[in-house]
Amino acid sequence: ETGVTQTPRHLVMGMTNKKSLKCEQHLGHNAMYWYKQSAKKPLELMFVYSLEERVENNSVPSRFSPECPNSSHLFLHLHTLQPEDSALYLCASSRTSGSSYEQYFGPGTRLTVT
């Protein structure tokens, strides 16, 4: 266990559905991240929150909407997704002090869009 949990672990949704992914970290970190991992592609950074403010948005389509209500929780709200959005969605957290920024990852949510 890395101290970062994600729910659900698996999700199947239709293109018209609305769902949310949840991430929670128990490490006392103050930065949280969403990554997308598609087959045969490197991990893609989607969003970064530092001290609950969004500091990075890597040209992600608006059908993905992140929310960070506090430093321990991160959500990814999904609506009107496309089949190409099927992937493993990984959450990570880190500190923002010092020069470490070592990232700890959750187990991921396997998303299938039908």
Contacts with other proteins, residue ranges (CB under 8 A)? 2, 4, 6, 31, 33, 41-43, 45, 48, 50, 55-56, 88, 90, 92, 94, 96, 99-108, 110
* Residue closer to other proteins (CB basis): 16 or 40: 40
Residue 62: CB minimum distance to other proteins, A: 21
Residue 56: CB minimum distance to other proteins, A: 6
Task: Tell me the residue type at 80.
Answer: T
Give the tokens for residue 53.
């403010």
Give the tokens for residue 94.
């880190």
* Residue closer to other proteins (CB basis): 5 or 80: 5
